[in-house]
Amino acid sequence: MKEELTLLILLLLLVGASISIGYMAEDEIGKLVRKVKQGKIETPEQCANLSLTETAHCLNDYVNTIYKYNETKDSIKLTIEELKERGGDCKNWAELYIDYAEDLGFNVEMPIVNTGNKTAHTFAVISDETGYCLLDQMSLDCFKLGD
Q: What is the mean pLDDT of residues 121-144?
A: 96
What's the pLDDT score for residue 125? 98
**pLDDT winner (highest mean) among 27-31, 71-75, 128-132:** 128-132
Nearest to 112 by CA among 132, 89, 130: 89
Could you say which DSSP state residue 79 is in? -
* 18: enclosing H helix or E strand: helix 2-24
Q: Alpha-carbon Rg of the chain, whole angstroms? A: 20
Query: Do 80 and 10 share a structural domain?
Result: no
Rounded mean pLDDT, 114-120: 90
Cα–Cα dist 9/3, whole Å: 10
Give me the domain span that covers residue 33.
Answer: 1-39
pLDDT of residue 88: 96
pLDDT in the model for residue 2: 73
Who contacts 105 (Cβ-Cβ below 8 Å, separation ≥6)? 128
30 and 49 assigned to the same domain: no
pLDDT of residue 9: 76
- The answer on pLDDT for 100 being more than 70 is yes
How many domains does the chain contain in total?
A: 2
Whether residues 123 and 74 share a domain: the answer is yes
Q: What does the alpha-carbon distance between residue 145 and residue 70 come to, in Å, rounded to a whole number?
A: 35
User: Contacts from 112-121 at CB under 8 Å and sequence distance 24+?
Assistant: 121/90
Confidence of residue 117 (pLDDT cuts 50, 70, 90): confident
pLDDT given at position 129: 96
Q: Do residue 53 and residue 96 come from a single domain? A: yes
For residues 53-60, give the mean pLDDT: 95
Look over the chain and give the mean of its residue pLDDT values, rounded to a whole number.
Answer: 84
Residue 19 confidence class, pLDDT cut points 50, 70, 90: low
Q: What pLDDT score was predicted for residue 82? A: 94
28 and 47 in a single domain? The answer is no
